[in-house]
Amino acid sequence: MTRKLFASALTALALIVLFASPSSAAPSRHDIVGVKTLGGGVREYTVLNPTGSATPTQLRTWLNQRGYRTDQVTAAVGCSPHVGTANALCGAKWSYGPFNDPQVYFLDHSGDTWPVTDARIDWYQAPGIDAYYRWYTAGCPGGGRHCVNVYSASYGQTGWYAQTTWQTSGGYFVDGSMQIQLNNSTTPNTYAARRSVACHEMGHALGLDHNTGTTSCIKTYLFQAPAFPQHPTSNDFSVLNALYPKAGT
């Protein structure tokens, strides 16, 4: 094999590793995800952001008691595009509507200890999709724009910092189904912790699965060192750019 052919083969191999199918390259799951089949081709997913105070078995039992199955998650989440340690959700993304980028509005119902506005600024920088902030009383603007409701409350010692729930149909998020619940009871009341948790859940809401590295706010376990990263990584942005490849506004 000539040097040029060898270099071409290495390049092709790198592309295969970068964008391989979930069956060959998707990272193994270490998070807690539940699935419900609602009928009519609609499925509901919920992902928990663990605190480390409860075992995975206890969290899966918590989901099972609420009607979610936890034995289907390997097939349900963690699909390409994979870029570095960043990954997309399976069969779950926003439609473009009439725009060149999907328009996603985070409708903030949360308390003033949650810096949702600051966390949203990071995701607004992502290519391929536009993330906006709106106080919930302004309502969802409609017109092909998508809205995610963000709540905070004292949900109790659940073993999770936050929970994000959505429905899918035909490979897309169902409008009106996406919500984020931020838990006052378990998340440390510090700016860093709460910004990190909000950033994490917003990443899911845009179509990202967990980043298996250690420096992204959407890494699997926020409590592990380095704890509570504040921002997404360039790999997270690259996944979004590949997930929403249409030329943007």
Report the CATH number at residue 40.
3.40.390
* Residue 161 included in any domain: yes
pLDDT recorded at residue 249: 56
* Residue 2 included in any domain: no
Residue 232 dihedral angles phi and psi, to the nearest 5°: -70, 170
d(CA 66, CA 184): 21
pLDDT recorded at residue 246: 83
pLDDT in tens, 96-109: 999 999 999 999 99
Q: What's the pLDDT band for 79 if we cut at 50, 70, 90?
A: confident
pLDDT in tens, 43-71: 999 999 999 999 989 999 999 999 999 87
Rounded mean pLDDT, 149-156: 98
pLDDT recorded at residue 69: 93
Number of domains in the chain: 1
pLDDT recorded at residue 32: 84
Task: Please give the residue range of the domain that contains residue 35.
Answer: 27-243
* Residue 21 included in any domain: no
Long-range contacts of 185-193 (CB under 8 A, 24+ apart): 185/154, 185/155, 185/156, 185/157, 185/158, 186/51, 186/53, 186/155, 186/157, 186/158, 186/159, 186/160, 186/161, 187/51, 187/161, 187/162, 189/113, 191/115, 192/228, 192/230, 193/222, 193/227, 193/228
pLDDT recorded at residue 25: 37
- Beta-bridge partner residues of 39: 42
* Residue 34 included in any domain: yes
* Residue 7 included in any domain: no
* Residue 16 included in any domain: no
* Residue 6 included in any domain: no
d(CA 70, CA 99): 35
* Residue 4 included in any domain: no
Q: What's the pLDDT band for 157 if we cut at 50, 70, 90?
A: very high
Q: Please compute Rg for the chain using Cα positions.
A: 18
